Structure 1
Amino acid sequence: MTYKHSSRLYFVFLLLVLLSERCWSAANLSVECLIINLEYVECKWPETSRMNYTFSSAFKDDFLYEDCTEYILENNYTVGCRLPLKDHQDKFYKMYTNISTGGNQSVSQAFESLHKYVRLNPPYNISVVWFEQNSTLVLQWKKSTNTSNKCMVYMVHQETDTIKYINVTESSYSLPLASQNKQYAFRVRSTLSGYCGPSDLWSNWSIWLKWGNGGANENISRSAWWLILLAMVILFVFFTSLLVWYHFERIKIVLRPIVPDPSRNLQDLFQKHDGNVESWIHISKELKEAFEPDYTEAACDVCEAAPSCDVSATPEATPTSQDDTCDKTNTEEQPEKQLSSSASV
């Protein structure tokens, strides 16, 4: 019994400690809210304990609280909330916040105004224009919000031989009597002026822009380097694929050679030249004449019955004269044959 009683007491004590720690952590929460670039309100609270909080807020004095729709998470725990800024004039009204742990413990906090807690995004598209006629260097940039130009104040950080900080109200800065033989470096940040309710917060600095040493402009950001690297990778993959494709095409030709189709070469022979090989292979006229005989020879008829045939001494003989000679010889030989046959009898 004593053991069970002590274990119950220990469990109750542990529960009380956890509940008190939960109530203490909720009671000591402090919420900090900022207006980011006049687009949304970002409220954060310290991550004092590992628990998820529920956040709600209201503007003006209507106390119509709206639950948070976009929480900021760190290590899977809620540490903040982003609220849309419906109207730029809301920064001049009161803001009420409420944070709770899901039970009956909640902490409410009120802000008189958020116009002093506006943080803009840094200016972008910083560029330099050089006017050689009067040796003037003009630095230009673009603001990050669509508010009026009267509401903006900029700070230019200039580094040459010395370091300077200059406040300007325009989105440009002129540096007279600049020298191309020097190295200049610039960066800019912005805030709201008193014309639209001054803010105590400056934006972050823009990227550095360097100019000088013959007018070289070194305004290459990390994104530009990433684009260059990506282009190089694409080119490398393209040429590598081309080489691999060429290599496999050669292997395919070696393993499976292409059998030529003779019909392609013989189409002209039958369609254009009508089977004339000499015309198809384009034999020249001089080559044809080289194979033709260039001499004449007298013709001679051969008689089967006569052992020989006298040919006249003239180079040309007609067939009729040769036939008469052969007939005459045959008639002279016939009586001789008859005499020889009678003698034998």
Structure 2
Amino acid sequence: VECVLFNEEYMNCTWGSREMPTVNYSLFYCPGNPLWHRNEKTSNKEVECKHYLQDQGVRVGCHFKQNELIQFQPFHVLINASVGGKTLEIARKRMFLQDLVKPEAPVNLTIHNTSNNQLQLTWASPYPTNSCLEHAVKYKSNKDTRWTELLVNRNVFSLPSVDYEKSYTFYVRSKINKFCGNTQFWSEWSVPVTWGSNSTSKGTEEEWLHWFGIRTVLVPIASCLLLLMLVILLVRMERVWVILMPRIPNPSKNFDELFITHNGNFQEWAGVPKDVVESFKPNYSENICYVTELPPKDSHEPL
């Protein structure tokens, strides 16, 4: 049976394959020192697995939640197999959980240019106790054929004497150090980070996919939309020209009815009532008064 404690969050114990599908396996576990005797199949403290891992209906492992695990105490497991109504002991193992921890891969890799020729790589770890970790950093330039791998005890790695004509790619992984356990389980390698002259064009896989999507999808769509807008603008150019340069109105058409239909009669064209028109006509007459101018008295001319 092999057990791995993943990031101190859960543990999986597996015990083989499906070579005997008719066999029903059972796992019992007990933290501390169980009272197992030589002729007994189980102890008085054992607990059967609550969450079996199955492969096509056959039990192949057991899943342990975090509240079922106690570190720095012996952890005993016993596997039985039921065949033909008989119970057989398959394996019995004593282990320490701190020796079974496999941390998660480091995250948030960041490169800082601390001087003209030196790089500083930093990262974070999802593991809850960072002081219990040691790390491995591997890197190479775009002109190297082999990776260089170094061990570090902190979340910092410095690379002196970099060449600005090269690009550098870095990976990081972690495992429990000798002060907190005796494990050989390394985490998975982190997502790579790239720095250098070609990092902008090459970059990481995520950045490349991002720019590839922009060039192959967004650029053609934007071009089609711009072409469509130009066509619509050309179709409606006359309307736009009218808005920008409005025509001078011709008022003569508004007076065609005055001169053609009403013969210049403004009152009829304006709709003035007849009684109002009649009110402006004079309704009286004046007598003619003849005036004669008399000559002066000194004049000898006859009247």
TM over 0.5: yes
The aligned amino acid for 1:54 is S
Q: Which residue of 1 aligns with 2:50?
A: 69
Q: What is the CA distance between 1:72 and its match in structure 2?
A: 1.8
Matched, 1:287 2:253: yes
Aligned to 1:50: 21
SS at match of 2:62: strand
> 1:37, 1:145 within 8 Å by CA — same for their partners in 2?
yes
Shift of 1:218: 2.0
Choose which of 78, 99, 103 in structure 2 pairs with 1:120: 103
Pairwise mapping of residues 149-168 of structure 1 onto structure 2 (< 5 A)? 149-160=130-141, 161=144, 163-168=147-152
Residue 173 of structure 2: aligned partner: 189
The one-letter amino acid of 1:194's match is K
1:219 equivalent in structure 2: 204
Per the TM alignment, residue 284 of structure 1 is displaced from its structure 2 partner at its CA by 5.1
Please identify runs of 4+ aligned residues in structure 1 that moved more than 6 A.
none
**Greater fraction of residues in strand:** 2
Cα pair distance change 1:87/1:225, threshold 3 Å: farther
Contact 2:54 2:61 in 1 (8 A): yes
1:63-102 matches, cutoff 5 A? 64-86=45-67, 90-102=70-82
> TM-score, normalized by length of structure 2?
0.59
Q: Which has the higher contact order (CA 8 A, sep 6+)?
A: 2
Displacement of 1:77 in angstroms is: 1.4
How far is 1:289 from its partner? 4.5
1:1-345 to 2 correspondences below 5 Å: 31-47=1-17, 48-51=19-22, 52-62=24-34, 64-86=45-67, 90-102=70-82, 103-107=85-89, 108-131=91-114, 133-147=115-129, 149-160=130-141, 161=144, 163-216=147-200, 218-221=203-206, 225=209, 285-289=251-255, 293=259
Deviation by residue 1:10-51 (Cα, 9 ceiling, x = unmatched): xxxxxxxxxxxxxxxxxxxxx122222212221111123113
> 2-side partners of 1:293 and 1:94: how far apart?
118
Instruction: Tell me the distance in 2 between the aligned counterparts of 1:77 and 1:101.
Output: 12
Which structure: greater helix fraction?
1
Q: What secondary structure does 2:131 align onto?
A: helix
Gaps in structure 2 of 5+ consecutive residues:
35-42, 223-248, 264-303
In 2, Cα distance between equivalents of 1:76 and 1:170:
45
Q: CA deviation at 1:181?
A: 1.6
Deviations 1:284-310 (A, max 9, x none): 54334566559x9xxxxxxxxxxxxxx
Per-residue deviation, 1:115: 2.7
